[in-house]
Amino acid sequence: MQLAILFLGALLELLAATESTASTGTTSYRTTTGTIRPEPTTATHNPVTTTSHGNATVHPTSNSTATSPGSSTSSPHPRPPPPSPSPTPGSKADVGDYTGTNGSQPCVHLQAEIRIRILYLTQGGGKAWGTSVLNPNKTKAQGGCEGAHAHLLLSFPYGQLSFGFKKEPPQNTVYLNYMAVEYNVSFPQAAEWTFSVQNSSLRELQAPLGQSFNCRNASIILSPAFHLDLLFLKLQAAQLTPSGAFGPSFSCPSDQSILLPLIIGLIALGLLTVVLVTFCIFRRRPPTYQPL
């Protein structure tokens, strides 16, 4: 009987120890599993997910990033450069001396007061003529010559003028056959301030090779709305001396048309003077006979 009681007691203690060991192992497993679960770590990255919209990067949880001034989509387009000042009346001081060379060899020599006349649209919907005078102190000349062609480029702060000349050896002549103008200028009440024109079918300022073209006022019509006036003009292209000095003078047709009537008028005035003087001399002579 005692042996049965001892055996039962030992069996109960063994069962209690086994249950205690199993419970301790389960708790340890759960604690360890809780410290290595990846879900909490992944969840901590969700708030910083970004969305791309063009060049701007938007962070939904940050208003300051969404309105960042560094975004290129919110920056304005650069404004164009301002137009040049309003034109001023020209004078003899506005006569410029421009030379285009090919290395050390002069190709084009131009002296003139350059006026640009433009028919522009006004803000009221009408049209008006505006005149601008080129400032020679702010103008740079470049040029060259090749074969039968010579060119001169005048660059200034708000534009440029390009002259193209062509020589014809069979006729022994040279003339202006091409011009291009780009100009920014602010005329009164103008609706625009950028103007450009080019013409490659000109035959102007023609002169014999080796002679300079001289004219008091040469007007070149590049288009119905774009005229170029060259005052006190001296020009020689395609065939110059090494020093660039002007050759013999060749007057423009407009000056020749003025000189011809003047010469005819002077000749007529001289003849009339001779007739009057002769008449007066004969009237003052005493008669050769005496009355009876």
Alpha carbons 189 and 186: distance in angstroms, whole number: 8
- For residue 2, being part of any structural domain is answered with no
- For residue 102, being part of any structural domain is answered with yes
**How far, CA to CA in Å, does 128 sit from each of 102, 124, 138, 163, 191?**
40, 11, 27, 26, 11
- For residue 288, being part of any structural domain is answered with no
Taking only the tens place, the pLDDT of each residue in 50-93 is 333 333 322 333 333 333 333 333 333 343 444 444 455 555 67
Among 145-159, 185-199, 208-222, 243-257, name the one with the lowest average pLDDT. 243-257
Please check the confidence at residue 164 and state whether its pLDDT lies above 90: yes
Mean per-residue pLDDT for 215-228? 95
- For residue 255, being part of any structural domain is answered with no
**Token match 């100009």: residue?**
183
pLDDT for the residue numbered 186: 87
pLDDT for the residue numbered 253: 78
Cα 39 from chain centroid? 64
Interior CA angle at 197 toward 139 and 222, to 5°?
Answer: 95
Please check the confidence at residue 257 and state whether its pLDDT lies above 60: no
Under the banding of pLDDT at 50, 70 and 90, the label for residue 103 is confident
Please check the confidence at residue 227 and state whether its pLDDT lies above 50: yes
Please choose, from the candidates 104, 97, 102, the residue with its C-alpha nearest in 3D space to the C-alpha of residue 234: 97
Mean per-residue pLDDT for 135-159? 94
Among 62-66, 85-89, 190-194, 228-232, name the one with the lowest average pLDDT. 62-66
pLDDT for the residue numbered 88: 52
Taking only the tens place, the pLDDT of each residue in 1-38 is 555 555 556 655 655 554 444 444 433 333 333 333 33
Among 10-19, 121-130, 188-197, 259-268, name the one with the lowest average pLDDT. 10-19
- For residue 261, being part of any structural domain is answered with no
Under the banding of pLDDT at 50, 70 and 90, the label for residue 271 is confident
Among 74-83, 135-144, 223-232, 259-268, name the one with the lowest average pLDDT. 74-83
- For residue 272, being part of any structural domain is answered with no
> pLDDT above 70 covers what percent of the chain?
61
- For residue 11, being part of any structural domain is answered with no
**How far, CA to CA in Å, does 237 sit from each of 4, 134, 159, 199?**
141, 21, 23, 19
DSSP 240-264: --TT----SEEE-HHHHHHHHHHHH
Q: What is the CATH number of the domain that holds 208?
A: 2.40.160.110
Give every CB contact of residue 8 below 8 A, 6+ residues apart in sequence: none
Under the banding of pLDDT at 50, 70 and 90, the label for residue 40 is very low
Contacts 24+ apart (CB under 8 A), 213-221: 213/250, 213/252, 214/249, 214/250, 214/251, 214/252, 214/255, 215/251, 215/252, 215/254, 215/255, 216/252, 216/254, 216/255, 217/254, 218/252, 218/254, 220/176, 220/179
For the chain, give the longest Cα–Cα distance. Answer: 221
Q: What total of structural domains would you count in the chain?
A: 1
What's the sign of the alpha-carbon dihedral 46, 47, 48, 49?
A: positive
Under the banding of pLDDT at 50, 70 and 90, the label for residue 221 is very high
What SS3 class is residue 160? Answer: strand
Alpha carbons 233 and 236: distance in angstroms, whole number: 10
Please check the confidence at residue 211 and state whether its pLDDT lies above 90: yes
149 with 166: CB under 8 angstroms? yes
pLDDT for the residue numbered 12: 58
168 has which bridge partners? 173
Identify the burial level of 56 via C-beta atoms within 10 angstroms of its C-beta, where 0-12 means exposed, 13-18 middle and 19 or more buried: middle
Q: Strand 249-251 and strand 212-223: pairing?
A: parallel
Amino acid identity, residue 105?
Q
What range defines the domain where residue 176 resides?
89-250
pLDDT for the residue numbered 252: 85
Give every CB contact of residue 220 below 8 A, 6+ residues apart in sequence: 176, 179, 202, 204, 205, 227, 228, 229, 230
- For residue 74, being part of any structural domain is answered with no
What SS3 class is residue 2? Answer: helix
